Chains A and B, each alone.
Chain A
Amino acid sequence: MTILISNGRVIDPATGTDAVQDVLIQEGAIARVGRELARRAEGAEVIEATGKIVAPGLIDIHVHLREPGYEYKETIESGTRAAAAGGFTTVCCMANTDPVNDTRAVTDYILAKARAVGVIRVYPIGAVTRGLAGKELAEHAELAEAGCVAFSDDGRPVMNAELLRRAMEYTLPFGLPVISHAEDANLTRGASMNEGVVSVELGLTGAPAAAEEAMVARDILLAELTGAHLHVAHISTAGAVRLVRDAKARGVRVTAEVTPHHLLLTEEAVRGYDTNAKMNPPLRTQADCEALIEALSDGTIDCVATDHAPHALSEKEGEYDRAAFGVVGLETALVLLHDRLVRTGRIDLSTLIARMSHAPARLLNLPGGTLAPGSPADVTIVDPEREVTIDPRSFLSRSRNTPFTGLRARGAAALTLVGGRIVWRAA
């Protein structure tokens, strides 16, 4: 099967490409990128991409697919379809399923299910501690052998520093990072939003920025002590960015990701007790947003990750303080970041693509992230002029919990290819 993506603006940060070219795909891999490849592609299926952006398939290293155990929120099938519609070709799923992904059997199940019904690539992330209980190490060697690409208790911090130290040491031989949900749980007891004047006005318990920053600082010190690769999940404060920047300058093996909602929204979104503005870490301040955007642009923050966290309506309607934490993100990330950061000139297009493809691929050593010949033919075609209005009723995800309902944005995915197969095409 041969496919020719014709005459698009090919942006491949890994090879420094940004030019109008053709992309030739053979046997599920990128065969060639160059001008006027049509004559080499006799009988090929031609995908006309004039005026569109042809990018490496997007990679999201932080999603909750909810299967096994919470299939009413999301399944591997629905989650990967949602991802494909958002332009993603690879996702990494967190371990807080039921049962928790802390044993090989669960990893095997996720991978088998993804092969059977998933439409994109799925890589599981194993638990740091058994049952995410923060008491004893999960079986990391076997999880790594089964195919886990990182370790994380995401959703919960590992409060015991000694245990996290041992996890960092024990996992060193596997070359897989430990991903930290950086939150000092004592400082966030009862919290449901950022601590500040808005939380005071709303009468809600706030989580101070220091709760995140104290933990980022601790984890950086432990990475320094052990030589492990620490990856900071969903970084959300200017202070945490400063800590990561300093650590990188000292040569510590630390990387970080940021979510679209932390880049684009502030604590003001909680007013009116909107449960779709409730997530952990919470939405912060405008100054934090500015620091995050700057850090994403300059590379202090390595990549974008959505922290796609589907919840059923019954878990999100009702009292704010009792609602579940988290928002969906797979179907809105690309178009919103393109519209709000690229079209406004805050970040350039090739940088955004790098932070959503090449950087996360390198970070977790995943295939893809580039259009270099020989790479898997994971490709996202973006229509920079395609305008959408965010409408949760149209989501392919099983859940609807987005804080972006009603926003208009330009630059949505038009077509998604995984291994040379079209897995999604805009209507």
Chain B
Amino acid sequence: MAWKRKDLLTTRELDAAEITLILDTATSLREISGREIKKVPTLRGKTVVNLFYEASTRTRTSFEIAGKWLSADVINFSASTSSAGKGETLLDTARNIEAMSPDVVVVRHPSSGAAELLARTLGCGVVNAGDGAHEHPTQALLDLLTIRQRKGHLDGLQVAIVGDVAHSRVARSNIYAMRKLGMTVTVAGPPTLIPPQVQELGVKVAHRLDDAIRDVDVIMMLRLQQERMSAGLIPTLREYARYWGLSLDRLDANARPDVLIMHPGPVNRGIELTPEVADGPYSVILEQTGNGVAVRMAVLFLLIGARTAQEAA
């Protein structure tokens, strides 16, 4: 099949074939990272703008490397050093960037729906690199790529997503994508961090960590933002770490020996994961980061390729 979309905004709108196409493309592009000269001419003469309104190391760098390995020109625009600090609106900034004819704008923004807003406004491709608590599709795709590499398949796997699901765009994008690929998802955390009516998204809910991690193939731990405590959603970080933090003891007592531990980063060591787990034998956290570049190469390649094909036709 061929990629048809102008934008990548959510996994909710993708079907299983589209997700598989991205993963297969990422798999074939992955070998570039092992080359001595990490550059192919595929996107030469194309321009990718990273438009980031939130702090990000991993995602921004990952898109930048992905673009550069494909020979695109990559421009980084961060809100703190730009006209956004002078009160320019998101739409105005985006329109001005578009006037400079980029092929793809990669956007991260604290408002849910910001990427969709840009996609509606701009003629160029838009990739959602995280919008509020809504979606972060490339993170889910790199998570799936990591799981598929390790397990050889996705269909039928059981996944536990643990922690602050309510505020997590990573959780939402993973839930939609995993369900479409035939995986079973259980979300777990204190009820204050589990969204209301979340079962309607097709997931199960567990309110004890030991129940959530028993017999699953993958455990995905989410980052706990410190402000959840000041907002009164949990009493203390100490209590959270004690009841919801993943330690080797808990893993050994409850989890399968071939379980994968994932985390979208950045990790709060000692809160959601002990260092022994983060750096331990079950952890695939660094593989996730490496796969991030491959998935983003695939997304840029497919989006720009679809545009080029349309222009030719």
Indicate if the CB atoms of B172 and A201 lie closer than 8 Å.
Answer: yes
Query: Does A162 sit within 8 A of B, measured CB to CB?
Result: no
Indicate if the CB atoms of B201 and A317 lie closer than 8 Å.
Answer: no
Query: Does B196 sit within 8 A of A, measured CB to CB?
Result: yes
**A205 contact set on B, CB distance < 8 A:** 133
Indicate if the CB atoms of B135 and A203 lie closer than 8 Å.
Answer: yes
Nearest residue, chain B, Cβ from A190: B231
Indicate if the CB atoms of B112 and A203 lie closer than 8 Å.
Answer: yes
Query: Does A51 sit within 8 A of B, measured CB to CB?
Result: no
> Which parts of A30-46 form the interface with B (CB within 8 Å)?
none
**A222 CB → nearest B CB, Å:** 27
**Given known A-B contacts A197-B200, A201-B201, A203-B131, A320 and B113 have beta carbons under 8 A apart:** yes
Indicate if the CB atoms of B111 and A321 lie closer than 8 Å.
Answer: yes
In the bound complex, how far is the Cα of B197 from the Cα of A197, in angstroms? 6
**B133 contact set on A, CB distance < 8 A:** 203-205
In the bound complex, how far is the Cα of B132 from the Cα of A243, in angstroms? 36
> Which parts of A380-406 form the interface with B (CB within 8 Å)?
none
**A115 contact set on B, CB distance < 8 A:** none
**A273 contact set on B, CB distance < 8 A:** 112-113, 116-117
> Which parts of B67-123 form the interface with A (CB within 8 Å)?
89-91, 109, 111-114, 116-117
In the bound complex, how far is the Cα of B195 from the Cα of A205, in angstroms? 10
Q: In the complex, which of the residues B133, B135, B169 has the most CB atoms of chain A within 10 Å of its own CB atom? A: B133
Indicate if the CB atoms of B198 and A200 lie closer than 8 Å.
Answer: yes
- The 8 Å CB contact of B117, one of A204, A206, A318, is A318
Indicate if the CB atoms of B196 and A203 lie closer than 8 Å.
Answer: no
Indicate if the CB atoms of B91 and A317 lie closer than 8 Å.
Answer: yes
**Given known A-B contacts A318-B89, A321-B132, A200 and B201 have beta carbons under 8 A apart:** yes
**Given known A-B contacts A319-B109, A320-B112, A321-B112, A203 and B134 have beta carbons under 8 A apart:** yes
Query: Does B228 sit within 8 A of A, measured CB to CB?
Result: no
**B196 contact set on A, CB distance < 8 A:** 195-197, 200, 206, 208
In the bound complex, how far is the Cα of B255 from the Cα of A117, in angstroms? 75
**A408 contact set on B, CB distance < 8 A:** none
**A276 CB → nearest B CB, Å:** 13
Chain A: interface size category? 10 to 19
Query: Does B12 sit within 8 A of A, measured CB to CB?
Result: yes
Helix, strand, loop or mixed for chain B's interface? Answer: mixed
**A203 contact set on B, CB distance < 8 A:** 112-113, 131-135, 169, 172
A/B interface sample: 9 pairs, CB < 8 A: A196-B197, A197-B200, A197-B201, A200-B195, A203-B134, A204-B134, A273-B116, A319-B109, A321-B111
Indicate if the CB atoms of A319 and B113 lie closer than 8 Å.
Answer: yes
Nearest residue, chain B, Cβ from A205: B133
**B169 CB → nearest A CB, Å:** 6
Query: Does A202 sit within 8 A of B, measured CB to CB?
Result: yes
Question: Chain B 123-135, CB within 8 Å of chain A: the 1/0 string?
Answer: 0000000011111
Query: Does A322 sit within 8 A of B, measured CB to CB?
Result: yes
Indicate if the CB atoms of A202 and B197 lie closer than 8 Å.
Answer: no
Question: Chain A 269-285, CB within 8 Å of chain B: the 1/0 string?
Answer: 00011000000000000
In the bound complex, how far is the Cα of B197 from the Cα of A208, in angstroms? 12
Indicate if the CB atoms of B112 and A202 lie closer than 8 Å.
Answer: yes
Indicate if the CB atoms of B135 and A319 lie closer than 8 Å.
Answer: no
**B198 contact set on A, CB distance < 8 A:** 200
Indicate if the CB atoms of B91 and A318 lie closer than 8 Å.
Answer: yes
**B114 contact set on A, CB distance < 8 A:** 319
The 7 closest A-B pairs by CB, nearest first: A203-B134, A273-B113, A203-B133, A319-B111, A203-B112, A200-B195, A197-B200
